[in-house]
Amino acid sequence: MRDFGPKGVQFFYVYKALAHPEHNGYVQPFTLEERLLHVKVAERTLGSEIPWICDSMKNEVKHALGDAPNSEFLIDPDGRVLRRVAWSSPSKLRTLLGKLVGPVENPTSVADLNLKVEPPPKVAARGVVPRLARPSGLQPLIIEPQVEEGARPFYAKLRAEADSGLLRSGSGTLYVGFHMDPIYHVHWNNLRKPVRVEFEGLPEDGEAGARVDPAVWTGPDPEEPVDIDPREFLAKVSVPDGVKTLSLKVSYFACNDEAGWCVPLTQRYTIRLQSDRDGGRARGGRPGGRPRR
């Protein structure tokens, strides 16, 4: 921007659905307000002055641009796409811009920018609860949080993934994970009852319908009073033909030390047994780890 801005070139970042949720703990937002908070976090942690375009919660820009995780577009003043690549290459872009608008004398280096980069805030201990080893090949599912107007945010956000058997035949493995959202600076309160997850609307014994084992799950009860590790488990699921959703309720205690509050919460979701093309590819067991292959 510093080199080519004076030559009439404008730069924009496009903020889309996360390609790798769980990187540095960040998870997919549930509302546009949360996605805009993500943009603010990105501005602060990257230190960049390039303006951002924030995609809608329907991910319309992402879909229109081809769904690539790190794509790059060069568009002329008449709206013609001069360059479109699935993976951005700053060095190649600089070379192309030099040919189109003229070379830059004394190009700016990253060190010249003196970027004010800020790491994510440390809210509580991490590594208290061991991460679950997820089976390979799981696919993210569409989840619908039951957001109520005026209610507290979903501080602990659900991520649901299914194996091919569950998606194809209705019988297989379901990953359920609740991840504390870093944008709220909130942690688990381990001095109170641990997180409890309950699948709702399941049939009584002897009745036909969806089966989930465990139908009720209670999370770990670590000795550390607070932490921000995910709460996660695997369930065996079997659903008859025609059943496309599962209903889930989660109860937990969340605390924000900065604001000085700690509250009990009960929140509900609908899980659609349908692959989410915008769900991204979750990182491995440790934050910032490499994507699972």
Residues 151 and 108 in one domain: no
Last residue of a domain, one of 79, 113, 147: 113
Q: Are 108 and 148 contained in the same domain?
A: no
Residues 53 and 102 in one domain: yes
Contact 138, 163 (CB under 8 A): yes
Phi, psi of 167 (to 5 degrees): -75, -35
DSSP label at 34?
Answer: H
- One domain, residues 169 and 96: no
H/E element holding 38? Answer: helix 32-46
Same domain, 148 and 261: yes
| Structural domain includes residue 265 | yes
Q: Are residues 149 and 107 in the same domain?
A: no
Residue 207 falls within a domain, yes or no? yes
1's tokens = 């921007």
**Does 240 fall in a domain?**
yes
What pLDDT digit, counting tens, does each position of 176-190 carry?
Answer: 999 999 999 999 999
CA distances (Å), origin 243, targets 149, 159, 249: 28, 20, 18
Q: Which residues contact 251 (CB under 8 A, 6 or more apart)?
A: 193, 195, 196, 198, 264, 265, 266
The pLDDT value recorded for residue 118 is 77
The pLDDT of residue 113: 76
* Domain coverage including residue 247: 139-275
Domain contains 98:
yes
Residue 124 lies in a domain: no
Give pLDDT, residue 103: 86
198 and 263 fall within a common domain: yes
Same domain, residue pair 157 and 263:
yes
**Structural domains in the chain (count):** 2
Q: Is residue 260 part of a domain?
A: yes
156 and 75, same domain (yes or no): no
Q: Which of 67-71, 126-130, 286-290 has the lowest mean pLDDT?
A: 286-290
Question: What is the per-residue pLDDT across 21-43, written as a single tens digit (0 to 9) for each?
Answer: 988 888 999 999 999 999 998 88
DSSP assignment of 84-118: EESB--HHHHHHHHHHHH---SSPPPHHHH-----
CA distance 46 to 118: 7
CATH number at residue 246: 2.60.40
* This prediction's pTM: 0.88
- What does the mean pLDDT of the chain come to? 90
Q: Which two tokens stand for residue 235?
A: 């369930």
Mean of the pLDDT values across residues 68-81? 90
Token pair for residue 112? 């010249």
Residues 143 and 108 in one domain: no
pLDDT digits (tens, 9 = 90+) for 111-146: 777 777 777 778 899 999 999 999 999 999 999 999
Asked if the model's pLDDT at residue 68 lies above 80, the reply is yes
Half-sphere exposure of 124 (CA within 13 A, CB side): 24
Q: Are residues 207 and 268 both part of a single domain?
A: yes
Q: How confident is the model at residue 286 (pLDDT cuts 50, 70, 90)?
A: very low
**Shared-domain flag, residues 92 and 205:** no
Distance CA 78, CA 273 (A): 43
